[in-house]
Structure 1
Amino acid sequence: MQKGNAAYIKTMNKRLILKCVMEEDAISRAAIAKKLSLSKPTISTLVNDLLEDQWLIETGNGSASREGGRKPVNLTFNAKRSYIVGIDIGGTNVGMGITDLNGHVCAFREFPTQQHLEHNLFEEMKRNVDSMKDQLRIDDSKILGIGAGIPGVTNIKEGIVVEAPALKWKRFPIVAELEKTFQLPIHVDNDVNINVLGEHWIGIGKNKENLVYVAIGTGVGSGIMINGNLYRGTNYSAGEIGYLVTDKEYAKAYHPVHKGYGFLESVSSGSSISMQISKKLGKEMSAKQAFELYNEGDEAAVEVIDQALEHLAIGISNYVSLFDPEIIILGGGVSGSFSLIHKKVMDIMNRYAPQQCEVVRTSFGKEAGVIGSVALFLNEFEGLFEI
């Protein structure tokens, strides 16, 4: 066997051992050998390497066999060996966090986007990351890299944001800017794509192979996972549910809420609800206030929100017809009114879709984008287990 092949096989076997330990939480060397069909001496040698490099930790003894004898020592994955920075760049706020390798958010920061967008956005990101590193008492050597989510179409190959209306970005070189700021490996993607990755990794979509994440906030977007893989489309714009047309007559007079926004988000997003209710009542109202008025039975709020949710429900039902997912996850700011949205979606789905689909609320709060960004980094970063 050639030297290069032997090194490759050794590396792949180490990765298999790590994956095995991560899946089992705690497992003995003998159990790993049996599960992977590798010899005990091979497992012993590779596990020793992984222990030395701090990927694994020896923990308390496991159970002895029925024949008796010494209890085996269990192995666990060392999630604190390295850390990853997750950045969720939203139109309203930038959420940032540092997580361990299991996705536990060890530190979190947030700051308003528009206040820093024009002059010192990336410097503010750097300041917050440095603050979190100080809090955790870790230095750059412990940080593997950065994952970031962007509210717009993102070409991950070129590292550019094709268009992000909420940030007024077009052909923006996001990876170059982040690399210049942090000097770390960077991976970026659309914010809803990262959310579906996060849910599939450690959220409510775990162990699901076909799922859709719909974010309802300033706009409306979605991430699609098919057979366990993120589906991005030919031009990285798969999942742009905000562009669905849900009423051809209404669409003839359609004007986007903001430049670059599609039909569905212009009639059912948070910004659309806010704009419509403000116009009806003659004063500035947020989507949150509109839902509060709805619950009080306000006639104008009921009219605006019922119409918005009907369009949204038709869009989601179309997704059920097209993709037949196991689960649809609703997230974003407007998902705070989940029970109301859920009822409308299920009613429409029962009427129009060929079958039902489970519709659930996201399992994450404001840290969702951070966890998703870290999931993206782990999904894309080939050097994670360069061992």
Structure 2
Amino acid sequence: MQREGVANIKTINMRNVLNCIVEEHALTRADISKRLNLSKPTVSSIVKQLTDDRWILEVGSGSASAGGGRKPVQLKFNAKRSYLIGIDIGGTNVTLGLTDLNGDVCAYREFPTQQHLHSGLFEEIERCVDSMRSQLGLQDNDILGLGVGLPGITNVEEGFVVEAPALGWKHYPVREKLENIFDFPIYVDNDVNSVVLGEHWKGAANDKSNLIYIAIGTGIGSGIILNGELYRGSNYSAGEMGYLVTDRKNAKEIQPVFKGYGYLESVASGSSISQLLSTRLNRDVTAKEAFELYAQHDADAMSVIDLAIDNLAIGIANYVSLFDPEIIILGGGVSKSFHLISEKVIDIIRQHTPQHCDVVQTTLGKEAGVIGAAALFLKEHDLLLNI
């Protein structure tokens, strides 16, 4: 037991030293000793091990001392030591990327989901990953593992999708499918849970402890971080915002866009906007085209999208009142048109909430799902790094 205690202290100290270097970008051994209140021999021993394991690099020297002594060597995190595979399987597109340990996307691929959903989905994922690895010249031992975000309730421990209406999946063994292809540690979770981890790591909320990410695309979902920890709920279904009812009367009449979809995503998601406006205009209209028509003050588009805005904003207001987050981040395809609807959305939220909360558009762009899936891996895997 005593040996275990010593080993745990050593691991904690090593983790603290590494994360100190990551956060400060470059430090000397003396700086680390002072900041962490560790003895110089302890720091030197840890630095040697981290250097031997290629977690850190010696990158030159700092300023000379006042007495003209030897310049101290600077230490820097080696973000290129290993790479992570991040995959986001969405209802519309599958996005894939290879990131370094700083979360910078070094290679990126995407393909349409529905084209491969019923035949060859995982073969296409394998082809894309092989292509990215070849692009970067990476071998198996260069890759730590793989994270996957999925559009539905996901059993994180068992690695299967409980239900993903946009994919038509129920009790689908995603991790098992991927383990048949890749010999890496693999973690799966709901896509918005992954992305909220990415936003906390690399996005608009990297200095926040209480945040909510809302994805408005084919469906509507949210990821919730409270007091710095991802909140999944007792059945992995926390944040299923698409099931919120924001109009009691209309909820009795509205038909779900997809089987299994909830009320809010049946009136405010990209797929519902597309479907409702297509029915009105008697032709196929994409959500993107709907917002283009909205910008042109088309009466039908304004009617459909204003209904969506009202319901979406009330749903967000309910979240603000319930969780009191520091920031809400909007992502997904519909969020690209946030500049058109932001004023109305924020006005409604302010009318129905007891306190102010920043509502912003994601800054991660099309790589959000990839960065989030990589963040998921780092969060779940037993690495020295904290995110």
TM-score (norm 2): 0.97
Matches of 2:331 and 2:65, distance apart in 1: 47
**Unmatched 5+ residue regions in structure 1?**
none
One-letter amino acid of the counterpart of residue 250, structure 1:
N
Q: Give the CA deviation at 1:66.
A: 4.2
Equivalent position of 2:5 in the other structure: 5
Give 3-state SS (helix, strand or coil) of 1:103's partner: coil
Q: Give the CA deviation at 1:88.
A: 0.4
Equivalent position of 1:262 in the other structure: 262
- For residues 163-195 of structure 1, give each alpha carbon's deviation from its aligned partner in whole angstroms, at most 9, with x where no partner exists: 001111000111111111112100111001111
Equivalent position of 1:357 in the other structure: 357
Contact 1:222 1:241 in 2 (8 A): yes
Q: Give the CA deviation at 1:50.
A: 1.1
Matches of 1:202 and 1:172, distance apart in 2: 30
Q: Give the CA deviation at 1:12.
A: 2.2
Equivalent position of 2:194 in the other structure: 194
Give 3-state SS (helix, strand or coil) of 2:366's partner: coil
One-letter amino acid of the counterpart of residue 43, structure 1:
V
Moved more, 27-36 or 248-257: 248-257
Give 3-state SS (helix, strand or coil) of 2:158's partner: coil
Contact 1:92 1:114 in 2 (8 A): yes
Equivalent position of 1:161 in the other structure: 161
Equivalent position of 2:367 in the other structure: 367
Q: Give the CA deviation at 1:4.
A: 3.4
Moved more, 47-56 or 339-348: 339-348
Give 3-state SS (helix, strand or coil) of 1:88's partner: strand
Matches of 1:36 and 1:236, distance apart in 2: 37
Matches of 1:327 and 1:63, distance apart in 2: 40
Equivalent position of 2:100 in the other structure: 100
Equivalent position of 1:377 in the other structure: 377
Equivalent position of 1:18 in the other structure: 18
Contact 1:97 1:109 in 2 (8 A): yes
Contact 1:220 1:241 in 2 (8 A): yes
Give 3-state SS (helix, strand or coil) of 1:301's partner: helix
Matches of 2:141 and 2:335, distance apart in 1: 38
- For residues 57-85 of structure 1, give each alpha carbon's deviation from its aligned partner in whole angstroms, at most 9, with x where no partner exists: 00121223445422211100000000010
Matches of 1:209 and 1:67, distance apart in 2: 44
Equivalent position of 1:151 in the other structure: 151
Contact 1:335 1:341 in 2 (8 A): no
RMSD of aligned Cα (Å)? 1.2
One-letter amino acid of the counterpart of residue 107, structure 2:
A
One-letter amino acid of the counterpart of residue 244, structure 2:
L
One-letter amino acid of the counterpart of residue 258, structure 1:
F
Q: Give the CA deviation at 1:120.
A: 1.2
Contact 1:155 1:162 in 2 (8 A): yes
Matches of 1:11 and 1:210, distance apart in 2: 28
Equivalent position of 1:301 in the other structure: 301
Q: Give the CA deviation at 1:383.
A: 4.4
Contact 1:154 1:161 in 2 (8 A): yes
Q: Give the CA deviation at 1:303.
A: 0.7
Q: How does 1:30-179 map to 2 (within 5 A)?
A: 30-179=30-179
Q: Give the CA deviation at 1:283.
A: 0.8
Equivalent position of 1:275 in the other structure: 275
Q: Give the CA deviation at 1:340.
A: 2.4
- For residues 185-213 of structure 1, give each alpha carbon's deviation from its aligned partner in whole angstroms, at most 9, with x where no partner exists: 00111001111100000111101000011
One-letter amino acid of the counterpart of residue 151, structure 1:
P
Matches of 2:351 and 2:128, distance apart in 1: 48
Contact 1:28 1:75 in 2 (8 A): yes
Q: Give the CA deviation at 1:316.
A: 0.5
One-letter amino acid of the counterpart of residue 200, structure 1:
H
Give 3-state SS (helix, strand or coil) of 1:43's partner: helix
Give 3-state SS (helix, strand or coil) of 1:101's partner: coil
Matches of 2:2 and 2:330, distance apart in 1: 51
Equivalent position of 1:181 in the other structure: 181
Contact 1:57 1:76 in 2 (8 A): yes
Moved more, 118-127 or 376-385: 376-385
Give 3-state SS (helix, strand or coil) of 1:366's partner: helix
Give 3-state SS (helix, strand or coil) of 1:107's partner: strand
Give 3-state SS (helix, strand or coil) of 2:166's partner: helix
Contact 1:268 1:311 in 2 (8 A): yes
Change (3 A) 1:340 1:13: same
Give 3-state SS (helix, strand or coil) of 1:166's partner: coil
**Unmatched 5+ residue regions in structure 2?**
none
Matches of 1:340 and 1:212, distance apart in 2: 21
Give 3-state SS (helix, strand or coil) of 2:110's partner: strand
Equivalent position of 1:232 in the other structure: 232
The sequence identity of aligned pairs, in percent, is 63
Matches of 1:6 and 1:239, distance apart in 2: 40
Matches of 2:152 and 2:341, distance apart in 1: 24
Matches of 1:355 and 1:7, distance apart in 2: 46
Q: Give the CA deviation at 1:369.
A: 0.3
Q: Give the CA deviation at 1:8.
A: 2.9
Q: Give the CA deviation at 1:146.
A: 0.1
Q: Give the CA deviation at 1:157.
A: 1.3
Equivalent position of 2:333 in the other structure: 333
Matches of 2:4 and 2:244, distance apart in 1: 51
One-letter amino acid of the counterpart of residue 74, structure 1:
Q
Give 3-state SS (helix, strand or coil) of 2:59's partner: strand
Moved more, 238-247 or 249-258: 249-258
Q: Give the CA deviation at 1:315.
A: 0.3
Matches of 1:285 and 1:168, distance apart in 2: 23
Contact 1:317 1:345 in 2 (8 A): no
Equivalent position of 1:286 in the other structure: 286
Moved more, 375-384 or 202-211: 375-384
